[in-house]
Amino acid sequence: MPLPETMFCAQQIKIPPELPDILKQFTKAAIRTQPHDVLQWAAAYFSALSKGEPLPVKERIEMPLTTDKTDAVLTPGLLKILHKQLSPKGVVNVAELREKWKHLSLPEEPLKAILQLGNFSEEVEWIKILALGCTVLGGSLLSSMKHACEILTMDPEGGAARVPFETFSFLYLYLASIDGEIAEEETASFLSGIKEQADQQAGMVLLRNFLSQPSTLF
């Protein structure tokens, strides 16, 4: 067996030229994301990086929630990470969803509640998981739709948060059916008014337009 090479000086240590930038980007990502479990998140980060998959990184730092809980909680930024990672698939396996959820150190109880509420099997439509995730964030239908639009929009942060009417309508009808307390006639009338406004905006629903609707529909 050959003896290991003896190190005599620092010049013998070969550092890959791309390593400094990789570590710099990792550090910036960690600062933005503020992971609850750094080691678990770092493993997920480098695994995604090596596979060319979307990274589990927030777009910006979120203000910490005022809570006494020591566990991580679902936030718009974390839900947007999951959307970035899973939305390209359209339909996702529950096992993969659980894995991505765990990578963000999120407690299992909210995910269990989402899966039970949607009565999902082993394959789930991501858009429905996103919708129910927004109910965890918001509680009311109004705030849930607001979070959904802000996550789905291609507009910059603080912009109009536009989404296609078809997407808005699907989410609203789905959440209204889960809620079960809004009459179908009211839902149809509400969406008809939203569509009229969307038709004037190239088929896009603006966040401010539906926020001004009667609160009885939310």
SS3 146: helix
Structural domain boundaries in the chain: 72-138, 139-218
Is the torsion defined by CA of 51, 53, 59, 60 positive or negative?
Answer: negative
Instruction: Report how far residue 90's alpha carbon sits from residue 75's, in angstroms, rounded to the nearest whole number.
Output: 22
Tens of pLDDT, residue by residue, the chain (218 residues): 555 566 566 666 787 889 999 999 999 999 999 999 999 999 999 999 999 999 999 998 987 655 545 567 899 999 999 999 999 999 999 999 999 999 999 999 999 999 999 889 889 999 999 999 999 997 788 899 999 999 999 988 878 889 999 999 999 999 999 887 788 888 898 899 999 999 999 999 998 877 766 555 55
- The class that CATH gives domain 72-138 is mainly alpha
